[in-house]
Amino acid sequence: MDEKEQAQIIIGKLMNIGGMLQKKANQLLSPFGLNQQQFSLLFEIFKAGRVNQKTMVNRLMLEKAHVSKIIKKLHSMGLIGIVPSTDDKRSSWLSITEKGKDVVEGCRKALGEWNGAWITSLAGGERMKMVDSLSLLQSSLRDAIQDK
Amino acid sequence: MDEKEQAQIIIGKLMNIGGMLQKKANQLLSPFGLNQQQFSLLFEIFKAGRVNQKTMVNRLMLEKAHVSKIIKKLHSMGLIGIVPSTDDKRSSWLSITEKGKDVVEGCRKALGEWNGAWITSLAGGERMKMVDSLSLLQSSLRDAIQDK
DNA sequence: TCTATATAGTTGACAAGGAAACTATATTTC
DNA sequence: GAAATATAGTTTCCTTGTCAACTATATAGA
């Protein structure tokens, strides 16, 4: 198995696992009226405290049109607040509401209850190595994508 | 970092990497008029020689409605042939056409040219370990999803 | 100070993907 | 053999995600 073949197998598996995980997350989150990307954006706003869309676009590597539409939805659901920026009239500050925090907590609980179980197929030591390897791959993939 | 925390980090990274890879693959394949899922279905038909939709649904873990629509598209593009089964009138046999084989080759080349580069951030030995770990995760995730 | 260019975000058009309901056929049960 | 149930695949409806074009505002350059 040469380098190229290994690369193809790893990438195939990463896409397959990623696809299954996303689909499962979408199912687990649908009772909250969100999908995985919408939740991750809400969660990022929660973590950031106060943030603008541009930053979310960059941090999550999503299309700005898509972020705009998700923001609209989250706002209409009452999960985030939007305050126009005084520095830049084109822009707004996003922050989570109390309702939004409740939803984030519920989502994390729903995901956590499912996620914890199946990963025990990997031993503890291997999990630490996996974290390291995935971090490496993640950042070099990011670089490769942004270089384009 | 306890087990639960490790699980969350690994899953977050797997989804993020999977998402980036899928998006990139979609970009690379769009000149062929396909996206990543459509290509993977075409590729599976290519590998199988002759196969029915039910098998594709199971093997790729896609919605049957979705497979049906992709089949329709691939057929209208002239990439696959469809022959009604004589055993079961509800079903058909799918196979790739010469044109389809050309497209598969072109797609593999396009993906291969990009995929090979960035994964070198992992050393050879680590790549083998990664293959093993991802295989474990993949099959236990599959089991977890199908158990539901 | 005015014009040209860049940027933050929005909207429309379109294709994709999921869920549910459907049709036609196969299998099981009585 | 007929009725009930299951199955293979299709279609409709709806939401999502991408792309391109747009508006309003900020910044750069002359």
- Using the predicted structure, report yes or no on whether residue B148 has a pLDDT greater than 60: no
What pLDDT does residue A101 have? 97
Q: Domains plus CATH for chain A?
A: 8-147 (1.10.10.10)
Q: What three-state secondary structure class fits A96? A: strand
Alpha-carbon distance A16 to B19, whole Å?
10
Which spans in chain B are helix H? 3-29, 36-48, 53-60, 64-76, 98-118, 124-147
The encoded tokens of residue B21 equal 């890879």
Is any atom of strand C within 7 angstroms of residue B69's beta carbon? yes
pLDDT tens-digit map of B91-129: 999 999 999 999 999 999 999 888 777 777 778 888 888
Task: Check CB contact under 8 Å for B18 and A19.
Answer: yes
Phi/psi of residue A51, each to 5°? -155, 160
Q: Which residue has the tokens 């089991």?
A: B143
The encoded tokens of residue A34 equal 């969100």
Cβ of residue B83 closer than 8 Å to a chain A Cβ: no
pLDDT band at A121 (very low <50, low <70, confident <90, very high): confident
Report CA(A123)–C1'(D17) in Å, whole number. Answer: 37
* Structural element, H or E, at residue B92: strand B92-96
Q: Strand pairing partners for B51?
A: B94
- Check if the beta carbon of residue A96 is closer than 8 Å to that of residue A42: yes
Sign of CA dihedral A35, B118, B132, B105: positive
Q: Which of A3, A13, A135 sits opposite B134 (nearest CB)?
A: A13
Looking at A37-41, A45-49, B124-128, B134-138, which range is the least confident one? B124-128
The alpha carbon of A147 is separated from its chain's Cα centroid by a whole number of angstroms, namely 22
Using a 10 angstrom Cβ sphere, with 0-12 exposed, 13-18 middle and 19 or more buried, the burial of residue A103 is buried
- Check if the beta carbon of residue A92 is closer than 8 Å to that of residue A55: no
pLDDT tens-digit map of B57-77: 999 999 999 999 999 999 999
- Contacts for A81 with CB less than 8 Å, ≥ 6 apart: A75, A94, A95, A96, A97
What pLDDT does residue A1 have? 67
Contacts of A137 in chain B (CB under 8 A): 17, 119, 121-122
Q: Hey, of B3, B4, B10, which one would you mutate to test binding to chain A, going by the most A CBs within 10 A of its CB?
A: B10
- Contacts for A109 with CB less than 8 Å, ≥ 6 apart: none
Task: Check CB contact under 8 Å for B126 and A133.
Answer: yes
Is ipTM over 0.85? yes
- Check if the beta carbon of residue B41 is closer than 8 Å to that of residue A44: no
Task: Check CB contact under 8 Å for A140 and B134.
Answer: no
Q: Which residue has the tokens 């999977």?
A: B18
